[in-house]
């Protein structure tokens, strides 16, 4: 087997220590190796970096152990070509597993080019990821607090959620605050409604008539305070994310030359800045401001790192799986996903299928009756990500599939097929186009 990297190292990562095995070929052409153990403090990792540099190591591979690989990666990424490898891709033989053998095995695989590194985005994108993911956690926590408020209201025989669509809204919060402060008259509480909610006065009076005790008031007060705290936390995150997106002006290093022809014969352009990419993503049905920010944080705006849309969909975990043996297809289960990206794609797909005149709604209506809601939504998410890939790659806003040449040809073929089926049943039909666009399957 041909050696790909003559001087490389494998690192077995743990919380307190890292075991490093270096492999190289000496002047006589013999393989040499040396193994050392270092701590994970910054001083120890700097010593590790100096040792690797003294051996003229060029490539380093480490396993992706929880969060513990990140301090090592932070120190080494500026001096070496570092690959973070999924531990499932280089399992050692059972019964022969030690830290030293893991490091040696990883170094040997790297030496022959038998491991693939995970996608590690550049530092600005990693910062944006941290912000958007933490904001997502806060939003989920906020939804959990609202659910707990609803739970307490049910305990107290208050059916406010049956009348108010959002119990965290202005009117509902005013009523709950007054209830916590000692107001028990349902009519007085209903008077606190704002805007169109005042037309539901009688329903609010009936819904606010319950059996509220001091125990319930205490719980509601704590939940409302928690809700206000989370609202105050979310605002700085929104501002910081917007600021980081506006500051992103420098383009990342190009992995391929500009306008080089790829496998799908599409010219590669220099990537957009985040501020330029946001309005393009916003043109896709189902994608709004925060969803576009999450997409940029997870995949970035540079599509040159993905050879094709199929590679991106495989990495996101929204394409069909491949499990074949002896010519039989056993399962089409989707591969292990990037859970943050897949979650937002499914969320956007659920929003896109509500746009009834869109291509995504057509795909959903075709698949849902025979495949079910969940599989149909994942299929829509798959097509959404393909659209995102080509939009960011070609720097063009979204165009509905039916307005393209291929979409119009498909629509015309469907019309001809339906007309032939009717004629085979013994009827003559004359087709007259109408002004409104019709969806097609």
Nearest-angstrom CA–CA distance, 427 and 406? 30
Nearest-angstrom CA–CA distance, 368 and 379? 10
What does 200-222 look like in DSSP terms, one character per residue?
GHHHHHHHT-S---HHHHHHHHH
Give mean pLDDT, residues 153-166.
92
pLDDT per position as a tens digit, 224-233: 999 999 999 9
Nearest-angstrom CA–CA distance, 208 and 158? 5
- The reply to whether the predicted model has a pTM over 0.85 is no
Q: What rounded mean pLDDT belongs to the chain?
A: 86
Considering only residues 380 and 329, tell me which one the structure prediction assigns the higher pLDDT.
380
If pLDDT is split at 50, 70 and 90, which confidence band does 95 have?
A: low
Which one-letter DSSP state was computed for residue 162?
G
**Residue range 126-245, CATH number:** 1.10.287
Architecture of domain 8-111: 2-Layer Sandwich (3.30)
Kindly state the tokens that stand for 94.
Answer: 């059972």
Nearest-angstrom CA–CA distance, 438 and 430? 17
- φ, ψ of residue 62 to 5 degrees: the values are -140, 155
Nearest-angstrom CA–CA distance, 311 and 85? 17
| Residue whose structure tokens are 């075991």 | 19
Q: Picking from 43-52, 251-260, 432-441, which range would have the lowest pLDDT averaged per residue?
A: 251-260
pLDDT per position as a tens digit, 264-313: 444 556 888 999 999 999 999 989 888 999 999 999 999 988 999 999 99
* C-alpha Rg value of the chain to the nearest Å: 29
Q: Tell me how crowded residue 381 is: count the other CB atoms within 10 A of its CB.
A: 29
**pLDDT the model gives residue 262:** 41
Considering only residues 339 and 95, tell me which one the structure prediction assigns the higher pLDDT.
339
Return the percentage of the chain with pLDDT > 70, whole number.
91
Considering only residues 441 and 307, tell me which one the structure prediction assigns the higher pLDDT.
307
**Integer angstrom CA distances of residue 157 from 80, 154, 212:** 64, 5, 8
Give mean pLDDT, residues 129-134.
95
**pLDDT the model gives residue 93:** 61
**pLDDT the model gives residue 245:** 93
What does 103-161 look like in DSSP terms, one character per residue?
HHHHHHHHHTT---------HHHHHHHHHHHHHHHHHHHHHHHHHHHHHHHHHTT--GG
Range(s) within the chain of domains with CATH label 1.10.287: 126-245
Q: Picking from 51-55, 235-239, 337-341, which range would have the lowest pLDDT averaged per residue?
A: 337-341
pLDDT per position as a tens digit, 352-383: 999 877 889 989 998 999 999 999 999 999 99
Kindly state the tokens that stand for 347.
Answer: 């969320």
Taking a C-beta distance cutoff of 8 angstroms, is the pair 63, 102 a contact? yes
Which one-letter DSSP state was computed for residue 438?
-
Q: Picking from 51-60, 162-171, 403-412, which range would have the lowest pLDDT averaged per residue?
A: 403-412
pLDDT at residue 441 above 60?
no
| Residue whose structure tokens are 């990140």 | 70
**pLDDT the model gives residue 296:** 93
- 3-state secondary structure at position 25: strand
Kindly state the tokens that stand for 59.
Answer: 């490539």
If pLDDT is split at 50, 70 and 90, which confidence band does 41 have?
A: very high
- 3-state secondary structure at position 306: coil
pLDDT at residue 220 above 60?
yes
Considering only residues 144 and 335, tell me which one the structure prediction assigns the higher pLDDT.
144
Range(s) within the chain of domains with CATH label 3.30.420.10: 8-111
pLDDT at residue 254 above 60?
no
Give mean pLDDT, residues 103-128.
89
**pLDDT the model gives residue 440:** 43
pLDDT per position as a tens digit, 236-246: 999 999 999 99
Taking a C-beta distance cutoff of 8 angstroms, is the pair 360, 384 a contact? yes
**pLDDT the model gives residue 255:** 46
Taking a C-beta distance cutoff of 8 angstroms, is the pair 312, 381 a contact? no
Nearest-angstrom CA–CA distance, 230 and 7? 50
**pLDDT the model gives residue 151:** 95
Task: Tell me the β-bridge partners of 31.
Answer: 25
**Integer angstrom CA distances of residue 11 from 40, 67, 95, 182, 227:** 12, 15, 20, 63, 44
- Closest among 106, 86, 89, 88 to 98, alpha carbons compared: 106
Return the percentage of the chain with pLDDT > 90, whole number.
54
Q: Picking from 32-41, 184-193, 248-257, 315-324, which range would have the lowest pLDDT averaged per residue?
A: 248-257
In this structure, what is the dihedral angle of CA atoms 255, 260, 262, 264, given to the nearest 10 degrees? 140
């Amino acid at each position: 087997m041909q050696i790909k990297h003559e001087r490389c190292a494998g690192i077995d990562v743990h919380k307190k220590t890292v075991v490093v095995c270096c492999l190289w070929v000496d002047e006589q052409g013999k393989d040499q190796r040396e193994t050392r153990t270092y701590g994970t403090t910054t001083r120890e990792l700097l010593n590790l970096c100096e040792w690797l540099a003294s051996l003229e190591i060029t490539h380093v591979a480490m396993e992706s152990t929880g969060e513990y690989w990140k301090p090592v990666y932070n120190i080494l990424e500026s001096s070496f070509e570092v690959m973070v490898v999924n531990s499932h891709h280089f399992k050692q033989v059972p019964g022969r597993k030690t830290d030293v053998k893991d490091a040696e095995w990883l170094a040997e695989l790297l030496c022959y080019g038998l491991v693939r590194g995970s996608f590690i985005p550049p530092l600005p994108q990693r910062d944006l990821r941290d912000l958007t993911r933490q904001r997502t956690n806060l939003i989920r926590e906020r939804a959990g607090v609202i659910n707990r408020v609803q739970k307490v209201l049910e305990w107290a025989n208050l059916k406010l959620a049956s009348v108010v669509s959002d119990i965290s809204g202005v009117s509902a919060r005013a009523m709950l605050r007054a209830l916590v402060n000692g107001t028990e008259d349902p009519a007085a509480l209903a008077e606190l409604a704002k805007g169109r909610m005042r037309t539901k006065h009688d329903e609010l009076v009936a819904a606010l008539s319950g059996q509220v005790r001091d125990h319930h008031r205490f719980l509601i007060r704590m939940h409302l305070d928690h809700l206000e705290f989370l609202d105050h936390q979310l605002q700085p995150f929104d501002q910081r994310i917007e600021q980081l997106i506006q500051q992103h002006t420098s383009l990342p290093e190009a992995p391929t030359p500009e306008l080089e022809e790829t496998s799908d014969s599409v010219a590669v352009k220099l990537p957009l800045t985040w501020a330029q990419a946001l309005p393009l993503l916003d043109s896709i049905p189902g994608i709004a401001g925060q969803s576009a920010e999450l997409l940029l944080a997870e995949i970035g705006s540079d599509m040159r790192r993905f050879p094709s849309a199929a590679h991106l969909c495989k990495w996101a975990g929204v394409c069909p799986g491949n499990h074949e043996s002896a010519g039989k297809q056993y399962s089409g289960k989707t591969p292990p996903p990037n859970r943050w990206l897949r979650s937002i794609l499914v969320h956007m797909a659920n929003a896109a299928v509500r746009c009834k005149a869109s291509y995504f709604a057509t795909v959903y209506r075709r698949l849902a009756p025979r495949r079910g809601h969940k599989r149909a939504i994942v299929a829509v998410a798959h097509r959404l990500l393909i659209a995102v890939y080509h939009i960011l790659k070609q720097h063009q806003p979204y165009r509905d599939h039916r307005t393209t040449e291929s979409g119009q040809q498909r629509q015309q073929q469907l019309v001809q097929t339906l007309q032939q089926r009717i004629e085979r049943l013994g009827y003559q039909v004359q087709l007259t186009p109408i002004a409104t666009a019709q969806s097609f399957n």
